[in-house]
Amino acid sequence: MEAQVATSAFERVAKRIESYRQWAIDLQTKLTATRALDPASGGKGEAVKEALIRSLLTELGVTEMETLTSPVEGASACPRPNLVARFAGKDRKRALWVMSHMDVVPAGDLKDWDSDPWTVRVEGQRIYGRGVEDNQQGIVSSLIVARALRDEKVEPPCDLGLLFVADEETGNTKGIQYVLEQKQIFGPSDLIVVPDGGTPDGTFIEVAEKGIGWVRCNVRGRATHGSTPDKGVNAHRAAAHMIVRLEQLHERFNKRDEVFDPPSSTFPVTKVDAGAPNVNTIPGEHTFYLDCRVLPDYSLDDVLAAIGEITSAVDREHGTQTAISLVQRMDAAPATPTDAAVVHALKRAIKTVYGVEGKPGGIGGGTVAACIRRKGYPVAVWAKLDETLHGPNEYCELDNLIGDAKVFAHILLVTMA
């Protein structure tokens, strides 16, 4: 009987969600116009967008609401607010949390856009504009669930928590990291979903991330004229030997984990800094970079040590000196178990709403979910996305936005019943 009641409530709410398509477009239009850019990108932070969302939550009858603003330096510094909202359910000790971020990336070259990136353009079922997929699809879909519950007068079996954070695009220190330092948001029985990553078919549930190390290798030799190479120490030649030998990293760190795609650690050479300015000079300096994506089985410190051993061996052979430094480091967070409650809840909801089988997996990039996992909470990153984020003509499929709202409603009303 309880299962039938839960299913009936979900069906009512899902039907109501379908009726909000124009409201979703209108809300996307308002959110896009706020230009919630990081100050480093010439923006004024998330304050305007936070105020807009706060007013919407008030209209929707939020039970509890709090803004946690990260401290900023200087009289002209921009506020970086984080908004925590909670709608009461029957069991106040449990909650489904949906966390989205308010900031967006810059539009880039306006010539690459077919229309003004800060003014929503609608073509069929597609909503175009900067931020509409990353991460306003998550913002709007979560707000739609709250509105449907209100309009259908459905009391959920537990609380619905909505968290809107700042600073996701530029490091999270003023966003979710600050929130978790200031307040215990999540409880042991809560389910946490971050709709900030996914695939066009909606099957991928991100539960793990590799460690990331951007490594700078600065090789120093001795410059000389190109006609007398023996009088110099060719840093470029030594670096070429290093790059080849660094392939040994794949042999040293050779474990595989099929949860990830690709299933192994990767160490590609990427950027190379400019060397000698002319053809007839033997370069005395050469700098190249590795983008290391390392399975959680390994420590980034061990990888750095291995890189140092390889480059030192080449230095001894070629008479060069190489300095190794980290440009960026993000150690792998503990993975969310593939059999975690939030994963099961998503798989069940995805099957109901989209008719496909959800599959948990890991990625080589880093997401905001890592901050939550480091605090010991299992969290899943999921949404149905066409993955147009960060590019020109970013768009959100309206069907995806509406469908995602139904997925969250199913978890709340059926799985958590």
- Of the candidates 147, 158, 287, 143, the one whose C-alpha atom is nearest the C-alpha of residue 215 is 287
The catalytic residue among 168, 169, 315, 397 is 168
pTM of the model as a whole = 0.88
Going residue by residue through the chain (417 aa), what tens digit of pLDDT does each one get?
Answer: 467 778 899 999 999 999 999 999 999 999 999 999 988 888 899 999 999 999 999 999 999 999 999 987 765 578 899 999 999 999 999 999 999 999 999 999 999 999 999 999 999 999 999 999 999 999 999 999 999 999 999 999 999 999 999 999 988 999 999 999 999 999 999 999 999 999 999 999 999 999 999 999 999 999 999 999 999 999 999 999 999 999 999 999 999 999 998 999 999 999 999 778 899 999 999 999 999 999 999 999 999 999 999 999 999 999 999 999 999 898 999 999 999 999 999 999 999 999 999 999 999 888 899 999 999 999 999 999 999 999 999 999 999 999 999 999 999 999 999
Annotation says 103 is catalytic? yes
Task: Label residues 131-155 b or e (16+ Cβ within 10 Å = b).
Answer: bbbbbbbbbbbbbbbbbbbeeeebe
Angle between helices 21-32 and 47-59 (to 10 degrees): 150
Look up tokens 């060397």; give the residue: 275
Work out whether the CA dihedral 404, 406, 407, 413 comes out positive or negative.
positive
Q: Which of 46, 50, 103, 394 is catalytic?
A: 103
Return all residues near 39 (Cβ < 8 A) that are at least 6 apart. 45, 77, 78
Tokens of 362: 């890991």
- Catalytic annotation present for 168: yes
Domains and CATH numbers, the chain: 2-208+332-415 (3.40.630.10), 212-329 (3.30.70.360)
